[in-house]
Amino acid sequence: MIRTAPLALALAVSALPAQAQSTFERYEAVTVTMNAMTFEAMVAQTPALEGHMPSAELSDDLQAAYSCMFDGFVDLAGDAAVTQMVTEMEAHLATLTPAEVLAGSANVVRLEGVSDDQTTAIVMGCNTVEAFMAHLSSTGALQILMQADQ
């Protein structure tokens, strides 16, 4: 089962220096890296997915969902807290393996002042899970996963 909290806080290291990018651009770069690591771990766990995973790049629906989440986090915690979270996630992600990402280890960095319930409400309200599932469905990966679970 795909966990929502790692998706909500999905962040990664980008090639450009942090000062040259907005916090949102850094947040997006991290989500792309997190997607790539998640997909790599999913293929390792379910070899039938090889060649059927979508791009780690954000689809329009994922872009909208992550933008909505980012705005929700800023509204609840403020720019400084979100910038700190992104910085911490960039550092933390550099130490994670794809299997740890899939297992939810990205959860250890929390947005100060935002509860798990608030994070879940943002994720659900922004249709993040639905967008991620649609992204997986676009290449048949979700269908393969469903068959593998039977």
Q: What is the pLDDT of residues 7-66, one digit of tens each?
A: 344 433 333 344 458 999 999 999 999 899 999 999 999 999 999 999 999 999 999 999
12 burial level (CB within 10 Å; 0-12, 13-18, 19+): buried
pLDDT for 94 beyond 50: yes
pLDDT at 128 over 80: yes
Which residues are CB-contacts of 88 (< 8 A; sequence separation ≥ 6)? 109
User: Which two tokens mark 127?
Assistant: 């249709």
Query: What pLDDT is attached to residue 105?
Result: 65
Dist. CA 10–CA 94, nearest whole Å: 12
* Whether pLDDT at 113 is above 70: yes
Is the confidence at residue 109, as pLDDT, over 80? no
Convert the pLDDT of each residue in 3-19 to its tens digit.
433 434 443 333 334 44
Cβ proximity of 31 and 10 under 8 Å:
yes
Which pLDDT band holds residue 142 (cuts at 50, 70, 90)?
Answer: very high
Residues 6 or more apart whose Cβ sits within 8 Å of residue 13: 29, 30, 33, 90, 93, 94
pLDDT mean across residues, the chain: 84
